[in-house]
Amino acid sequence: MSSPSHFSLLVIDDEPDLRTLYELTLLREGYDVETAGTVEDAWLHLKDRTYSAVITDMRLPDGTGLDLLRRLEEAGRREKAIVITAYGSAENAVEALKSGAYDYLTKPVDLKQFRAVVASALGRGAGSPTVNPASLPSEHGGAPAVAAPAPGLLLGTPAVVVAPAARGPVSLALSRMAGQSSAIEQVRSLVEKVARSMAPVLVNGESGTGKELVARAIHEVSPRGAQPFIAVNCSAIPEHLLEAEFFGYRKGAFTGAADDREGFFQAANGGTLFLDEIGELPLAMQSKLLRSIQERSVRPVGAVVEQPVNVRIVSATHKDLGAEVHGGRFRQDLYYRLNVIQIRVPALRERLEDLPAICERVLERIARDAGVSPPPRVSREGLLHLSRYAFPGNVRELENLLHRAVALTGAETIGVADLGVPELALGQHEPDARLQAAVAEPMRPDPLRPVAPVQVPLPTNLAAYLDEVERDVLDRALERYRYNRTAAGASLGLSLRQMRYRMARLGVNVGGDSDGVEPDRNDEG
């Protein structure tokens, strides 16, 4: 086990008393500490040597902590930066995180929290042995590797990130996002930028776009990559269980609490807590979550003292949280706390040129799971056919289409007829020009057999075929409009009476009523 003295820290504060307090606190932890009182004084220290981390006050006589962060960024320095802000200014904290700070503290500084944040920045979890910095490349200035994860808590792909320059785990995590479109490249770039700090990230996008994939990439690229990644679907937990699930509970706290149990925060300690569908949390739970994030501690149900936790929060939603705040359904202070950095995941219709790469990746996984080799592929005609579809379910819907096609065809090439996208569901526009360019190269023919033109087979029973197409369209329209027949019918150019007639004729039932759902209040006659 190496000594903490291998870690060198630079503390910048213009108040001598505070500077001495921080220095003594860190010296007691065994770190090598140097101090400075101004931005220029700090820069002179930085010119002479490399530090493991820099701890700077926000307000300095000749500038601000942000000025120092910008200099570090422009010089390509690798030191972790922790910023101390006065007056609890949320604006300063957000600006610091966006400028590349690893984390921030507010005055008056709690020394216990101060020590925990510094240890986290150096990759030293509370009570965890440090990794010997002597084994690291000298150009990283002795920055530590991530401490080993607790047994049984390792989720996802293990990746020990030595420094941001170590590109192996980075490329592996980001490569899971298939495609080369400008939209997905922008997402990858943002992931790399935000991964190095503790800044909370809000991932926004429609259902099925891959928000959890982005959250996992942020975690795996970050120095926390070898620590737990805990994913929580906030909409799937009953309201009366939320507090116990998030914060844990003590034996005897309520009926059925036979033993102590950790919550999501404790399970994610040292790593990342991913809160999916954060917009579904009730207001009462939002208040408790806000306190835990602000105080970096949780109090299990039935406990009398709080437990410190070291967790990075990444949240996701398909909702417009700004509109939810305006409507009084989401706390404004929690929104500002979570939305420090926002990553928008594009819908599939916005990056249709990525269809070939996504299809190839999905089909490889399906074939691997089924033990099939070689994996099937979608024909060029099939890709162009898909590009006319809006994909309201995004990548998840595409995966379902391909699963169905593989299961029903069993062929090496998936054609137009195998995809099951009826003409009625396709848009009226021409196939996407970007996708046409992506598949412009002719497919190489199989040398073992002649290439036959793709023929769409004619149905043997036209009436039954058309009924099936219409039934599928009605099902999807009802699902999209949450089984409101009036709205679903209007989207298809049908009156409520016409909608009811078609549902009855085709046997489309939703719910327990004879005609599917409760009677609409605005029944047209």
CATH code, domain with 390: 1.10.8.60
CATH code, domain carrying 117: 3.40.50.2300
Q: Give the span between the Cα atoms of 175 and 270, in whole angstroms.
A: 25
Cβ atoms of 228 and 268 closer than 8 Å: yes
Rg value, the chain, Cα: 28
- pLDDT band at 125, cuts 50/70/90? low
In this model, does residue 274 exceed pLDDT 90? yes
The total number of residues written for the chain in this structure: 525
Token match 């073992």: residue?
448
- pLDDT band at 136, cuts 50/70/90? very low
**pLDDT score for 330:** 94
Token code pair at residue 266: 């404790």
- pLDDT band at 144, cuts 50/70/90? very low
Q: What is the mean pLDDT of the chain?
A: 77
Cβ atoms of 104 and 84 closer than 8 Å: yes
In this model, does residue 483 exceed pLDDT 90? no
**pLDDT score for 168:** 42
Q: Which of 25, 31, 43, 23 is nearest to 2 (CA)?
A: 31
Residues 270 and 385 in one domain: no
Residues 33 and 122 in one domain: yes
Number of domains in the chain: 4
Residues 427 and 465 in one domain: no
Residues 222 and 255 in one domain: yes
**pLDDT score for 408:** 80
Token code pair at residue 343: 């990553």
Token code pair at residue 359: 């299809």
Residues 33 and 88 in one domain: yes
In this model, does residue 169 exceed pLDDT 90? no
**pLDDT score for 109:** 84
Query: Over the stretch 403-433, which tens digit does the pLDDT of each residue have?
Result: 888 888 777 888 888 887 655 456 545 555 6
Q: Give the span between the Cα atoms of 137 and 142, in whole angstroms.
A: 8
- pLDDT band at 3, cuts 50/70/90? low
Q: Which of 184-193, 257-266, 427-436 has the lowest mean pLDDT?
A: 427-436
CATH code, domain carrying 211: 3.40.50.300
Domain boundary residue, one of 140, 175, 207? 140
CATH code, domain carrying 508: 1.10.10.60
Query: Over the stretch 287-332, which tens digit does the pLDDT of each residue have?
Result: 999 989 888 889 999 888 888 888 999 999 999 998 999 999 999 8
Query: Over the stretch 342-396, which tens digit does the pLDDT of each residue have?
Result: 899 999 988 888 899 999 999 988 888 877 778 889 888 888 888 888 888 899 9
Q: Is residue 203 part of a domain?
A: yes
Q: Is residue 517 part of a domain?
A: yes
Residues 284 and 356 in one domain: no
Q: Is residue 48 part of a domain?
A: yes
Domain boundary residue, one of 287, 321, 344? 344
DSSP-derived 3-state class of residue 10 = strand
Residues 477 and 338 in one domain: no
Cβ atoms of 106 and 88 closer than 8 Å: yes
Token code pair at residue 445: 């023919």
Residues 80 and 15 in one domain: yes
Burial class, 460, CB count within 10 angstroms (exposed 0-12 / middle 13-18 / buried 19+): exposed
Q: Is residue 332 part of a domain?
A: yes
Residues 176 and 99 in one domain: no
Q: Span 13-34, mean pLDDT?
A: 89
Question: Nearest-5° angle of CA 343, CA 345, CA 346?
Answer: 135
Q: 429-433, long-range: CB within 8 Å, 24+ apart, which pairs?
A: 429/388, 430/388, 431/384, 431/385, 431/387, 431/388, 432/352, 432/353, 432/387, 432/388
% of the chain surpassing 90 pLDDT: 19
Domain boundary residue, one of 314, 344, 374? 344
Residues 199 and 330 in one domain: yes
**pLDDT score for 422:** 58
Cβ atoms of 195 and 146 closer than 8 Å: no
**pLDDT score for 450:** 43
Q: Is residue 321 part of a domain?
A: yes
Q: Is residue 39 part of a domain?
A: yes
Q: Give the span between the Cα atoms of 79 and 9, in whole angstroms.
A: 9
- Using N-to-C axis directions, what is the helix angle for 16-28 and 111-121, rounded to 10°? 60
Q: Give the span between the Cα atoms of 85 and 108, in whole angstroms.
A: 9
Partners of residue 313 on adjacent β-strands = 273
Residues 100 and 208 in one domain: no
For residue 171, the tally of other CB atoms under 10 A from its CB is 10
**pLDDT score for 411:** 77
Name the pTM for this structure: 0.60
The whole domain housing 245 covers: 167-344
Cβ atoms of 46 and 18 closer than 8 Å: no
Pairing label, strands 63-64, 59-60: antiparallel
Q: Which of 173, 483, 181 is nearest to 345 (CA)?
A: 181
Token match 């989401």: residue?
330
Residues 182 and 318 in one domain: yes
Q: Is residue 111 part of a domain?
A: yes
Q: Span 178-206, mean pLDDT?
A: 86
Q: Is residue 422 part of a domain?
A: yes
